[in-house]
Amino acid sequence: MNMQQSPEAAAEALISRATLPGLIIDKGDLPAAVRAVADMLAKTGKVYNQGGFLVRIYNEPGEAVRAVPVTQHGVTMWTHELCRPVSLDDKGHEKPVTFPERAAKMLVDTAGNLVPALDGIATGPLLADDGTIRSQEGYDPATRLYCARAPRVSVPERPSRLDAEAALLKLRAVFETFPYADSQRITACDLDVVDLTQPPGEAESAFLAALLTAICRPSLTLAPGTIITAPEISGAGSGKGLLIQAITMIAYGQTPPAFTAGTEKGELEKRIASELLQSGPAFFLDNVNGTALKSDTLASVITERPARVRVFGETRMAELNSTAWIAITGNGLSISEDLARRFLAVELDPKCDDPEARDFPEGRDGFLANIKARRAELLSAALTIWRWGRQNEMQRGKPLGSFETWASWVRDPLITLGCCDPVEAIAKAKARDPFRLRVSELFEAWWQEHRTAPIKIAELHDSVRAIADPQGRGRQYVATFIGKLSGTRAAGFVLTRQEASGKWGSASYQLRKIST
């Protein structure tokens, strides 16, 4: 390939360069040049500060809108596209120079004070508490979101209950072929489908809440994530990933790239942070099979704004104000410890040996193509339910800490329309948590052997010790494990710790029954 420019092209490039504004590089005052370049970058409408990191928005036709970190070399390249860095000689004449590496590093390291802050990317309408729906293109300072590609929606100004019921039925009909674990089924056109004459069951209700959550997520400060699970042995091909793709196609007009947990210890947390730093509207962790998922990063990001995460390959921490809808799928997947209250759980069960053989009338590719073609229609249906909920008194469900606004925007309208409360299912998810099961078993054995007597670690009965330390790792392990359980409530008990009375004494523990 001939990389040489024609004389005409070379001349045109020189003329183009000559029209760019000059940027004087004073080695004695590099911060001045850095501020000038930052101002130019900000005016492009494509460069932002995300948690202290410089990122560039990519919004190319046919590709997902995303934020990509800007490197020092990227700063240098872009600077030369926007201006002509020059130095002045002793006579004041301009001399072309390369934008200094130190200045590029300074800009990358100090982005937080020089360009607008970015919390996320919205590719759907922005919503307000009074039921207002608005579309925006470009950066929205009020929400700190970069907005693009929001479709035109048609939502009644004051939807009636009949409007909301019709909208719910429309959404249910689109997804009626999915094997919700507890749904009542009928056969229609030789297909096994949900009986739409019956109210949604727990799994379908959780799915509908997940769909509305994804749509509202950019406009909510906090919202729970979603897990979609299926049986460990016969769950492959049940449609978990397809549901995620369909939800994101309606909510965002694009499907997120899936990523997996990896195999190395600690790798998952790095991957989670890396994905969230891209500011995409959705986060999709796929194929977390046969495990109890635990993640301090997810626990923090879902319930805290800002949340601090460590950036892979760097010692710096990033502050994330993430607006991403978080979705996880897996066969035989459960959620461990405190993640349970942070996720809606959608359970699929094809109840057959070969779920992959199940199909849609138009095939799986045709199903997604249909969702894409009907995006504005289906988004309008979901927003009809949402606006109806904002304008009328709703039935209130079970409280869920940290997610009060989400509950009134998403959960309460759905349960008013006859859906199950997905928050009530969280208690069931907690009951399946392996750690909680182990602690419950431990407390029950403790009560059987010791009742309310204050007990030191060395005095624990062998049956209690065996549950605390099934691998026989020793007294120190048991002491550490029991020590971390101080204040824990499980199985109707609470464990308390009494400190040692003297310098050489040992702490003791007491189990008490609590009212449930």
Pinpoint the alpha helices (H) of 347-411. 363-373, 375-391, 404-406
Angle between helices 363-373 and 240-252 (to 10 degrees): 20
Distance CA(164)–CA(383), nearest Å, equals 9
447 shares a domain with 396: no
In a domain, 366, yes or no: no
- Residues 404 and 268 placed together within one structural domain of the fold: yes
pLDDT (tens digit, 9 = 90+) per residue, 373-430?
999 999 999 999 999 999 999 999 999 989 999 999 999 999 999 999 999 887 776 6
User: How do residues 263-317 score in pLDDT, each as one tens digit?
Assistant: 776 788 889 988 888 888 999 999 999 887 888 899 999 999 999 887 766 667 8
Domain shared by 278 and 173, yes or no: yes
pLDDT per position as a tens digit, 167-212: 999 999 999 999 999 999 999 888 889 999 999 999 999 999 999 9
Tell me what pLDDT residue 430 has: 67
The two tokens of residue 336 are: 């461990």
Which range (171-185, 193-207, 238-252, 348-362) has the least confidence?
A: 348-362
User: Quick one: which of 399, 241, 268 has its CA closest to 327?
Assistant: 241
Residue 337 lies in a domain: yes
Residues 472, 347, single domain; the answer is no
Domain of residue 469, residue span: 434-513
20-39 pLDDT, tens digit each: 999 999 999 999 999 999 99
Work out how many domains the chain is built from and give that number: 3
What pLDDT, on a 0 to 100 scale, did the predictor assign at position 90?
Answer: 85
Rounded mean pLDDT of 13-26?
78
SS3 helix, strand, coil % of the chain, rounded to 5? 40, 20, 40
Q: What pLDDT, on the 0 to 100 scale, is given for residue 7?
A: 57
76 and 211 share a domain?
Answer: no
Residues 402 and 481 in one domain: no
463-513 tens-digit pLDDT? 999 999 999 999 999 999 999 898 888 888 999 999 887 767 789 999 999
Q: Tokens standing for 189?
A: 């056109």
Single out the residue of 32, 7, 55, 29 nearest to residue 311, CA to CA. Answer: 55
Q: What is the mean pLDDT of residues 318-344?
A: 88
Does residue 409 share a domain with residue 480? no
- Of 110-114, 195-199, 235-239, 327-331, give the lowest mean pLDDT range: 110-114
The pTM (predicted TM-score) of the whole model is 0.82
Instruction: Mark which of 86, 118, 150 sits at the end of a domain.
Output: 118
Residues 337 and 439 in one domain: no
Domain assignment present for residue 187? The answer is yes
Q: How far apart are CA 66 and CA 60, in angstroms?
A: 9
Q: Say whether both 279 and 413 belong to one domain.
A: yes
Please, is 210 exposed, middle or buried when counting C-beta atoms within 10 Å of its C-beta (0-12, 13-18, 19+)?
buried
Tell me whether the omega of the peptide bond preceding residue 306 falls within 30 degrees of 0, making it cis: yes
Per-residue pLDDT, averaged over 347-351, amounts to: 91
408 and 450 part of one domain: no
8 domain-assigned: no
The CATH number for 214's domain is: 3.40.50.300
Burial 421-444 (b: 16+ CB within 10 A, else e): bbbebbeebbeebeebbebbebbb
